[in-house]
Structures are given as structure tokens and as C-alpha cells.
């Protein structure tokens, strides 16, 4: 069976992420209440696709994510309801830069942690490490993702290389896109994916997103419609000395 969902990351509506983390004491809920996913073997609802982020230290973030796949047709030998892409990561800003607004130049971050066993899906544990480089100019932001995984259970090597392009983050609505290639070496499955969409910020702390994705997974066509939101909430107020670095803005920042 070829149906294979890419692991979600902490930046909607993308598969990759940015070189930034939630501010200290801030919780971010990234929720896709209902996605529609189609591949040659059938059609699915992803309800929900969820990423939970918590800024637990200056420049550090704790990430939990999962996607609940519900089959719209019965496939022999396959459960209709599967909890997939169950991951727990930590993410750290290694080099603050233009994304953190501390000066010109790239921002660099790393996200790593275990891949947990799925429910009615792949069993066993795996591991993931993602290096992210982001650069922001006036009216344009680019995020490069390079990550390596050991797949769940069989621990096969998997490589992902992607780029996210965003329009002006200071505008209420900005166009976005993502393009990536992923290859699982032992299985010999290559994924080519393209997504176009938009992010709307009606007010500070709340973003709505939409994305239309087309992919080829081992030669099989896949389509996906992503709709969701990101809600940012302050959980506790950090001490003043933890919120500033040399009198500047902290090295972490809400997206």
C-alpha cells in the first residue's frame, strides 16, 4: 500500500517549518479541523491535523503533533480510523537573525526527537532531525528545510529537502508556497510535492490558512486540501531578564 502521509511540522499549512520558536511562556495551537486527502487507493478526511507548541525556555520549543486519518471507503485489511504521524520534538534557535528581528542575515534552528508508534498504522519507534535556515527580506521570506529520519519500526533512512516561500508577513493576507522532494532509501519511494496557498491574520495571535497540494508518491498521484488556524496564547509571564537579550528583542518570537 502506497498511502503515506508526510510528517506534520510546526508551521501551517506546510510540511516543513521555520527557523523560529514560540516565545517563552507562549502556547501555540496549530489545528487543521478537516483536511481532504486523496490518493489512488482511496479518499480520506484528516480530522484533525494537530500541532502543539510550547515555548518552555528562551530559544527553545516543545512540539507534539499527530494526524487522524479517516477512510471514506473501506479498504480490506486497513483500519478506517488511524492516528498517524505521532511525533514529539524539541526545537531550538541556534543562530538568531532576520526572522527574530535581531539583525540582518539568516536564522538557523534545529528540530529533533522521536517518531512514536502510530495507532492502527506503522508500529515501532523512529527518529528525526531537521535543520532549518530562514531568511527574511522586505516583502519576502524563505525557509529551507533539510531533515533526515529513521522510519518507524524498520529504521530505514529517509531524506527530505524543501523550500517554503512567503509573501510580505506585515500584510493581513500573504501568499505562500512550498516545494519539496522526499526519498525513503530502502523502500525506494520518492515523493515530489508542491503546495500553494495563503495565510490570513485578522488580528494578532490568530492566523487562518488554506493550502492546495499536489504530489507524486512513488509515481502515484496524491491531492490534498488543507484548511486550518494557528492560535497563540500566553500561558505565563516570563521574568523581564529572561525576555531580553542585551537589551534587544528576545531571540524567540511568535510566527
Q: What percent of the chain has pLDDT over 90?
A: 81
More confident residue, 158 or 240: 158
> For residue 177, what pLDDT is reported?
98
Instruction: Report pLDDT for 42.
Output: 84
Q: Which residue segments constitute the domains of the chain, with CATH numbers given?
A: 26-242 (2.40.160.40)
2 pLDDT band (50/70/90 cuts)? very low
Q: What average pLDDT is seen over the chain?
A: 90
Cβ-in-10-Å burial (0-12, 13-18, 19+) of 217 comes to buried
Task: Report pLDDT for 241.
Answer: 45
Residue whose entry in the numeric block shows the C-alpha cell 507548541: 53
Cell numbers 502506497 correspond to: 2
- The three cell numbers of residue 98 are 532576520
CB 155 within 8 A of CB 149: no
Cβ partners under 8 Å of residue 247, min gap 6:
none
Nearest to 177 by CA among 162, 159, 161, 160: 162
How close are the terminal C-alpha atoms of the chain, in Å?
Answer: 37
Q: In this predicted model, what pLDDT tens digit does every residue of 67-120 receive, in sequence order?
A: 999 999 887 778 889 999 999 999 999 999 999 999 899 999 999 999 999 999
Instruction: Express each pLDDT in 183-194 by its tens digit.
Output: 999 999 999 999
Tell me the whole-structure pTM to 2 decimals: 0.89
**The pLDDT value given to residue 106:** 97
Amino acid at each position: 500500500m502506497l498511502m503515506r502521509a508526510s510528517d506534520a511540522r510546526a508551521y501551517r499549512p506546510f510540511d516543513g517549518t521555520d527557523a523560529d520558536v514560540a516565545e517563552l511562556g507562549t502556547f501555540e495551537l496549530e489545528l487543521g479541523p478537516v483536511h481532504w486527502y486523496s490518493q489512488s487507493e482511496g479518499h480520506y478526511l484528516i480530522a484533525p491535523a494537530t500541532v502543539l507548541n510550547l515555548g518552555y525556555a528562551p530559544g527553545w520549543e516543545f512540539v507534539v503533533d499527530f494526524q487522524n486519518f479517516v477512510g471514506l471507503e473501506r479498504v480490506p485489511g486497513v483500519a478506517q480510523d488511524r492516528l498517524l504521524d505521532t511525533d514529539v520534538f524539541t526545537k531550538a534557535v541556534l543562530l538568531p537573525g532576520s526572522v527574530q528581528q535581531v539583525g540582518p542575515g539568516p536564522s538557523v534552528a534545529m528540530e529533533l526527537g522521536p517518531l512514536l508508534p502510530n495507532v492502527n498504522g506503522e508500529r515501532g519507534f523512529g527518529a528525526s532531525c531537521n535543520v532549518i535556515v530562514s531568511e527574511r527580506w522586505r516583502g519576502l521570506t524563505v525557509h529551507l528545510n533539510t531533515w533526515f529520519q529513521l522510519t518507524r519500526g524498520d529504521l530505514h533512512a529517509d531524506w527530505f529537502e524543501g523550500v517554503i516561500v512567503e509573501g510580505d508577513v506585515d500584510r493581513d493576507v500573504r501568499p505562500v508556497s512550498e516545494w519539496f522532494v522526499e526519498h525513503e532509501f530502502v523502500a525506494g519511494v520518492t515523493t515530489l510535492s508542491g503546495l500553494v496557498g495563503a495565510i490570513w491574520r485578522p488580528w494578532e495571535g490568530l492566523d487562518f490558512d488554506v493550502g492546495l497540494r499536489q504530489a507524486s508518491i512513488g509515481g502515484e498521484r496524491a491531492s490534498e486540501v488543507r484548511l486550518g488556524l494557528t492560535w497563540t496564547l500566553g500561558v505565563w509571564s516570563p521574568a523581564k531578564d529572561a525576555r531580553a537579550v542585551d537589551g534587544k528583542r528576545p531571540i524567540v518570537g511568535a510566527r
